[in-house]
Structure 1
Amino acid sequence: MRNVVLSIRRQLPLVLLGAGIAVSTLPNLAFSAGGEGGSNSIPTCTKGKVYDTRSKKCVSKNSSAVPDKDRTEYAYALTQAGRYEEALEVLDTLKNPNTKEAWNYRGYATRKLGRTDEGISYYKKSVAIDPKYAMVREYLGEAYVIKGQIDLAKKQLMVIKSICGTTCEEYEDLHEAIENPSNI
């Protein structure tokens, strides 16, 4: 799914231009995949705002009208856009931060900020909530690869295999990370 979204993101300006829509007139939005295996694409907003799926608008990140599910998916969209600090700020606004997705995305953002051990601690909280959550297993495995703990990464790969087989994206991505650690 992530590869499809990236492909769409690259092709969108060309499609819009082909349709006679001037790309420069579009709002500053970047589309990213949201949620586990989600097909939803949500835009990212300017700093200090979150995307509200009900109003289909960017609103203040402190707005009480935006539910935790939207905030969590928006934080994931921010991580995919490389906006890790902002993702953590959004996760800090959750009413219930104790979900598998919230802990996973918090782990991902902190790992990407170079705080791998902290990221691992958040991944483990996600695993404790749902041991069969393949995405967190992938990211935890990648964290172990970064730390040079390939044996632990391979254990996560085997868990992913038991969850969704060898053709799911999480298995393929972690396998690639183990084979080519410089690509993480």
Structure 2
Amino acid sequence: MNSRYAMLAAPLLLAVALSSAQAWANGEEDTPAKPQCPKGQVFDKKAQKCVLQTSQRVPDADRTDYAYQLAKDGRYEEALALLDTLQNPNTAKALNYRGYATRKLGRTDEGIGYYLQSVKLDPHYAKVREYLGEAYVIKGQLDLAQQQLQQIKSICGNTTCEEYQDLAEAINGSSKT
């Protein structure tokens, strides 16, 4: 009986592993959930705890990732404040997340500016293309959103990656209103 389950489970485990690898290849930002740190603190991956944002031990990569988590949790001002502590704020990810938080605060044009800076640094970064396209949808510039959708299709090599699906949904949702 156990060998029968093992035979059934092995392909399932392989599929999960491959889909996870594909998610990372497509630039998806879904990392394991981090604890919610109080305002003014950031999650230190190495120490596995919340520390003051002013701590010099927390590398920019951790600060950037945590800023994105804050923004996804609706804590946009805190995300921007954390991004302000980066030693090198001019990375594709940091600019993308700054654009995201700014756009979510209703400052769409400013967000687009950050997205465009991110695209210049990494034209093959699908997540920034998705967010830039969503900003264009907000502005009613569906032709520009469609251009980003095609760029994502080229980056992913298909239309099944999350970034493509999310932007296509945003475009379709706006054309129905």
Matched, 1:180 2:173: yes
Q: 1:86 aligns with which of 78, 83, 86?
A: 78
Map of 1:35-184 to 2, 5 A cutoff?
A: 36-164=28-156, 165-181=158-174
Letter in 2 for 1:71: R
**Is the radius of gyration larger for structure 1 or structure 2?**
2
Cα distance change, pair 36–62 in 1 and its aligned pair in 2 (3 A): farther
Bigger helix fraction: 2
The two structures have a TM-score, normalised by structure 1, of: 0.78
Unaligned runs of 5+ in 2: 1-26
**Contact preservation (8 Å) 2:60, 2:86:** yes
- Given that residues 96 and 118 in structure 2 are in contact (C-alpha distance below 8 angstroms), is that contact kept between their aligned partners in structure 1? yes
Task: Kindly tell me the number of residue pairs found equivalent between the two proteins.
Answer: 148
- Contact 1:134/1:163, CA 8 A, preserved across alignment: yes
Residue identity in the other structure for 1:74: Y
> Do the aligned residues in 1 keep the contact of 2:28 with 2:162 (CA within 8 Å)?
no
**RMSD of Structure 2 on Structure 1 (CA):** 1.3
Segments of 5+ residues of structure 1 without an aligned counterpart are: 1-34
Shift of 1:69: 0.4
TM-score (norm 2): 0.81
Which stretch of the first structure deviates more once superposed, 132-141 or 41-50? Answer: 41-50
Q: CA deviation at 1:43?
A: 2.2
Residue 37 of structure 1: how far off its partner (Å)? 3.4
Report the CA distance between 1:38 and its aligned residue. 4.0
Q: Deviations over 1:91-126 (max 9, x none)?
A: 000000011000000000000000000000000010
8 Å Cα contact 1:107-1:120 kept in structure 2? yes
Deviation at 1:41, TM superposition (A): 2.5
SS in structure 1 at match of 2:89: coil
Q: Could you say which structure has the greater relative contact order, defined with CA pairs below 8 angstroms and 6 or more residues apart?
A: 2
Q: Give 3-state SS (helix, strand or coil) of 2:74's partner.
A: coil
| Partner Cα distance (1:154, 1:172) in 2 | 12
Please report how far the alpha carbon of residue 42 of structure 1 lies from its aligned counterpart in structure 2 after TM superposition. 1.9
The amino acid that maps onto 1:140 is: L
Over the matched positions of the two proteins, sequence identity in percent amounts to 67
Q: Partners in 2 of 1:125 and 1:158 — Cα distance?
A: 19
